[in-house]
Amino acid sequence: MTGQPGFAAEERALQRAQHIDARHLPSMLGWFPVAISAEQASVCWRHLGEIRFIESFFLDTLNQQSREQRQLCLTPLVSLSEQLAGMPCVAPTAFIFHVSRCGSTLLTQMLASLPQCMVMSEPPVMDAFFRYYHAHPDMPDAIATFRHLISALGQQRHQEESHFFIKFDSWHLAWLPFVREAYPDIPIIFLYREPQAVLASHQRQRGPQMIPGLLNTTRLQATNLPASAADFNAYTASILACMLEAGFEHTISARLILLNYSQLPDVLWNELLALFQLDCNAQELLTLKARSALHSKHRHLGFSGDPELKSREMGGAELPSLQYCDQIYAQLESLRLKVKICKVAQ
């Protein structure tokens, strides 16, 4: 497998399922790519049938299946185009990049509440592809393979499905130029948040990307690392600086649509629906607004607001890397306030 620290166990878990010979399948419709096996140069698929991806993350939907329902098959990586032959697919509507803990899950959950939207929130096969390509930079037809994986994720299983969104992991920001090259005309959103609030959220519950050595973040490599690997706050600030910098550097070249956490949730129905050419009736708008009032990661719970942020709780307000984050954040805000969403998308 392409197992790296933090992912090997997860990818093994994805393959704990009844193995099916792909040659015996009439088509791959209802099967979704979940991992890439480097040893076999193959794609691992899991069968979801007609199950909709309405959970907060792609993995959550997979984990909803009982062990008896889980089926897996393998196909050669080079035969992806053959697996997709004749499969109805919806072209991507937009890609969502983010710095973590900035409202991206709320945005995808609101979109997923609409029957016409297919939303893939951090599908693990995207990370598997980036790690595979990073380890094999001479990989032939990398962009074509990437597009095939996107198409497989965007397969249309229900007639009403007309819009398709993918949210990437936060450490994929360094891959923005590659994604833009693969899809020159697809809107790409970059969602970010005031740096101290992001740091405070990770202090309460630290994400794996903010723990030194836990994940292979491929192209996203922080340069201003703390002297001590145990200084998690400094490391988090360094990684966050790298993420913000990647977003800022590619805002113009990749024609990013900048969104601030503070604009949610209203920006969806006030501006983004028009950008996505997503027509909603009155009931669907009520559905969006009702979902926005619930917790992004626990849709059965009401959202009571962020825990109060106090500077003395940050434990890192004087970190040089956090100060740098604040500088980039200010530059992003300056750009965002100058350009309207509709003009960026043109």
In a domain? residue 257: yes
In a domain? residue 33: no
- Closest by CA position to 14, among listed 43, 36, 42, 34: 34
Length of the chain: 346
In a domain? residue 286: yes
* pLDDT for the residue 340: 74
> Which secondary structure element, helix H or strand E, spans residue 42, and what is its range?
strand 42-47
* pLDDT for the residue 1: 40
Residue 120 contacts residue 60 (beta carbons within 8 Å)? no
* pLDDT for the residue 12: 79
* pLDDT for the residue 76: 96
DSSP string, 191-213: EE--HHHHHHHHHHS--GGGSTT
| Strand arrangement of the beta sheet that strand 256-260 belongs to | 117-121, 163-167, 94-98, 188-192, 256-260
- Closest by CA position to 97, among listed 202, 248, 223: 248
Amino acid found at 314 = M
Amino acid found at 334 = S
In a domain? residue 76: no
Instruction: Look up the CATH number of the domain holding residue 312.
Output: 3.40.50
> Using CA of residue 208, residue 214, residue 220, residue 225, what is the dihedral sign?
positive
In a domain? residue 237: yes
Between strands 188-192 and 256-260, the pairing is: parallel
**CA 34, CA 152: separation in Å to the nearest integer?**
10
Is-above-0.85 flag for pTM? yes
In a domain? residue 30: no
Amino acid found at 209 = Q
**Could you give the 3-state DSSP secondary structure of residue 328?**
helix
* pLDDT for the residue 250: 96
* pLDDT for the residue 2: 43
Task: Compute the C-alpha angle 311/312/316, nearest 5°.
Answer: 75
User: What does residue 168 show for φ and ψ, rounded to 5 degrees?
Assistant: -85, 165
The tally of domains found in the chain comes to 1
In a domain? residue 300: yes
* pLDDT for the residue 29: 97
Task: Compute the C-alpha angle 207/331/271, nearest 5°.
Answer: 80
* pLDDT for the residue 14: 82
Q: What percent of the chain has pLDDT over 70?
A: 88
Residues of the domain holding 309? 88-116+162-345
Between strands 117-121 and 94-98, the pairing is: unpaired
Average of per-residue pLDDT values in the chain: 90
> Which secondary structure element, helix H or strand E, spans residue 126, and what is its range?
helix 124-135
User: What does residue 328 show for φ and ψ, rounded to 5 degrees?
Assistant: -65, -40
Q: Could you read off the pLDDT of 48-97 as tens digits, one per residue? A: 999 999 999 999 999 999 999 999 999 999 999 999 999 999 999 999 99
Residues in the chain where the model's pLDDT stays below 70: 1-8, 226-230, 295, 297-318, 342-346
In a domain? residue 24: no
Question: What is the CB neighbour count within 10 angstroms for residue 282?
Answer: 7
